[in-house]
Amino acid sequence: MSYADFIDQEIFRPLGMYNSGYGYDAPNQQFALGYGDGKPAPMLNMSVPYAAGALPPP
C-alpha cells in the first residue's frame, strides 16, 4: 500500500476528513497557489517532501 493510500485509509477516512489528502499531482482550482518572485510557484512533485509535511490543509 502506498503512503498516500495508507494516510487516506487509516487517518482521513476514519476521521471523516473527506476533503483532505496526501499531496496532489495536478493543480486544483480549490487550492491556493504559492508564489515566488511575484509569479506563481511551480507545482512540487509530492515524492520530494514525502512524509515530511506534504499534507495540504482541508
| Average pLDDT of the segment spanning 3-28 | 80
Of residues 8 and 24, the one with the higher pLDDT is 8
How far apart are the C-alpha atoms of 46 and 52, rounded to whole Å? 10
Contacts of 8 (CB under 8 A, 6+ apart): 21, 22
Judged against a pLDDT cut of 80, whether residue 38 lies above it is answered with: yes
- For the chain, give every domain's residue range: 1-58
Judged against a pLDDT cut of 60, whether residue 58 lies above it is answered with: no
Judged against a pLDDT cut of 80, whether residue 42 lies above it is answered with: no
Q: Would you state the pLDDT for residue 10? A: 95
pLDDT category, 20, cuts 50, 70, 90? confident
